[in-house]
Structure 1
């Protein structure tokens, strides 16, 4: 055989040989901008990055269907079904049987659900205890039945018991055995179970092979803490990480969309950016000063700072898209009016306000833009920049005169109004959650709306509450920002992503790589 004939034969064999199929990836790496975990206890975790990863570990009695944010998409989770009394004060949930807790802690039963709800309602063990103020009692008539009794009906009990905030269910035996260590070693029933936490580096999860919806198609999930935007971007572009938390600006979206195979999504709910004012301290105890601050913030500028692909103007003290939100008549931008109000209040040369500010880039850059904007009206922000966990702790100690806070909540006006603007939610009070503004302007309307069964009258009460809070300038909302994530196009989430209440895409047993 000649050399050319041999070469041709080899080439033919090579062409004819069947290709070896490459198995799809089964290990997912996700990167967040947070420098470290705060709390990995679902009833204490208030940072968005923590809440997101915990939703891969825990279930709730009910859940909002993956990819959605509206209460209309609530479906069974640990509970197979539920009923309620005509007046909405008694609810009975029937649990799935055979659901196993991670780590060999046994079957999840009604006893665990009762333990979880009581724990979520206890201010000593929960950051969300104020949400459960209407809870009268919770009981387990048998191992698979949970009965919840309310003092008064509330607009969103199913939302309260959904896979969000205090609604996540813990395994009682694990929480009791681990004690304080539960905050760094979470035990749930979800599709992924905790393996390891290395501070400032990562959280490692593995597939829960006994998951009641089926064994996950991903073997492991590594959740990495990469606060540097540039480092996180490079890791994504190189393929070192598969999914990243993005920057909320048009330039980042456009640049990342140009990465071959990348999927970029700005998802609901938009987080409402507001400057919360502590009106119990000078000079904020003078409504003219608070009005000056409201007139000094240019909402159009704040939207332009990030770009209209990821931001929109605020319309109320409740995020747009929430059930019951209205255009509450926010103060128009008028720096000259702001200066005049300050002079009238006795501050012709302006004021200086102290604020503790997170070093998290997405928040710090917003605050720096806000700082420059307020300066035009002779309002100076003296910022003390700290890491995000310290910021989250310090703002709840009344250490800031003004606080920038970015948040989304279960999309019913009652939740946002209660947590941020009811006097019972003031910091250092029994029901304190996250109210940095010490507001009591609309307590009567917020409470009345909770009891009102007529949805038309209920919405009217929420409307009045929003208008009163705006008029009293408890806070100055200025923009809403979509949460931006990007991922490798070979990753199939297993559902169509419109949004996620926990601000991190949900990973389910169906999430997988196609190659």
Structure 2
């Protein structure tokens, strides 16, 4: 199938979906129960230190808190403010940090007051590769100590670009109950205990998670009494549920037809959410034929990101320009991404010993965004003489399989704390390569920029630090460890009766943060 024929088929399907009826008018008087529909097939884990996909991260952000947090509605590091910690101070060299905890924060379901012992346990767990997917991020922490019940001291072994970012309400920064984790063991990932605004009441596998308000939440009891988080991975089913009033919020699609249809409805508000997730094609440079630089270059010349953005909608998609998301501090806008040139792809393949083209198999998620992007790339690759056989699996299985190096090409979309160090470390440092004890998400087994990443982490001159990050991106892109495709924002539709309680511009999981302020208008 050519790219043009794929677009024609997609347009017919989109038109069929677009024929759905307008959203019904529903009475919202005194409504306190929120129903959310998401593009996922179920819960992978609610242990926040292993929550790597958007759906699990979103739930974690409603259940747990951290020492500090991004202001609600923001993904900008400059808005980081107190959460569990009411204050903090650092030594002049920024190597020792002391945090004073609030005295009034309680765990849910009767686990008592949050203490410094819980913080020490959580951060030690977050930096342990056996108990966390984000351990590499915390390698600079030398020790975490409980000075007293309300005081925590963190000592670093080396400078980090943003310690507060690592301690925020995202990924390894979430604080969990030591007692609950030890009592519940492996069950904790289904029966988590946090101190956030909501708590898990029940999980129906593959169907939904039900959360209820945490009446003891230290910022005040939430205005919502209950949240039903429904797994509706099929786009049409999710749309129909939203338009019929069966759900109040739906995870949207990076598709301009969907956007046009939803934004035309006066009863609907569409939110776009930073930070952008960067979609990359990660290539395992250690596996034949991709250990041949010319083959990797051929793949890069086959990608037409501008066409993908045009098809999927410019409001929520941008052409990816580098190996890290465009909103990251230290972003390099011109690292040398190869231009779209399918004729060049064919010539390089012939030079590498594949005059009749190349056939590649890729495991891909059935999650709608990745599935759709994979199909678009499949059509583009075909025009360059590359047959991309896609093996579709459900999203949780996809995560399991790519973390076992079972796919030589990995299509992966991710946002991280918006400082270059985090993304570069997790995806391109050799310590993060799949198969290592310290593995994170280095699917390409890239090691070409280790020195620049390491040097930038300890560089105290911010300008020199940024230059090292930019150099790292250039090396990664030039060696074609990975191919940038698109930056895409989170996109969500909601009934205009729902008010988040703040202006929603960003949220670290690229999904709405639901807090004690969220409510339905009469």
TM-score when normalising by structure 2? 0.93
1:72-104 CA-partner distances (Å, limit 9, x unpaired): 010000001111122222111111112100110
Who is 1:58 aligned against? 64
Match of 2:332 among 326, 333, 350: 326
Shift of 1:23: 4.2
> Are the aligned partners of 2:63 and 2:199 in contact in 1 as well (CA < 8 Å)?
yes
In structure 2, distance between residues paired with 1:319 and 1:43: 22
**1:293 matches 2:294:** no
Match of 2:33 among 11, 27, 38: 27
Shift of 1:305: 2.3
SS in 2 for 1:66: coil
**1:450 matches 2:457:** yes
1:253-312 CA-partner distances (Å, limit 9, x unpaired): 111123341100121111111100001100000111111111111111121220212111
Bigger Cα displacement from structure 2, 354-363 vs 56-65: 354-363
> Are the aligned partners of 2:62 and 2:196 in contact in 1 as well (CA < 8 Å)?
yes
**1:377 matches 2:384:** yes
**Aligned residue pairs, count:** 495
In structure 2, distance between residues paired with 1:204 and 1:291: 47
Match of 1:179 among 175, 185, 192: 185
In structure 2, distance between residues paired with 1:375 and 1:480: 23
Match of 2:99 among 79, 89, 93: 93
Q: Which structure 1 residue ranges, 5 or more long, are not aligned?
A: 1-20
After superposition, residues 203-352 of structure 1 pair within 5 angstroms as 203-327=209-333, 328-352=335-359
Instruction: State the 4+ residue runs in structure 1 displaced beyond 3 angstroms.
Output: none
In structure 2, distance between residues paired with 1:46 and 1:144: 30
CA gap 1:346/1:128 in 2 versus in 1, 3 angstroms: same
After superposition, residues 347-362 of structure 1 pair within 5 angstroms as 347-362=354-369
Who is 1:146 aligned against? 152
SS in 1 for 2:228: strand
SS in 2 for 1:463: helix
Who is 2:84 aligned against? 78
Match of 1:115 among 110, 116, 121: 121
1:454-511 CA-partner distances (Å, limit 9, x unpaired): 1000001011111111111100011111111011111110100001111210011111
Larger Rg computed on CA atoms: 1
TM-score when normalising by structure 1? 0.95
> Are the aligned partners of 2:276 and 2:510 in contact in 1 as well (CA < 8 Å)?
no
In structure 1, distance between residues paired with 2:60 and 2:117: 21
**1:158 matches 2:171:** no
Who is 1:132 aligned against? 138
> Are the aligned partners of 1:449 and 1:462 in contact in 2 as well (CA < 8 Å)?
yes
In structure 1, distance between residues paired with 2:360 and 2:170: 34
SS in 2 for 1:212: coil
Aligned Cα root-mean-square deviation (Å): 1.1
> Are the aligned partners of 2:91 and 2:97 in contact in 1 as well (CA < 8 Å)?
yes
In structure 2, distance between residues paired with 1:24 and 1:513: 8
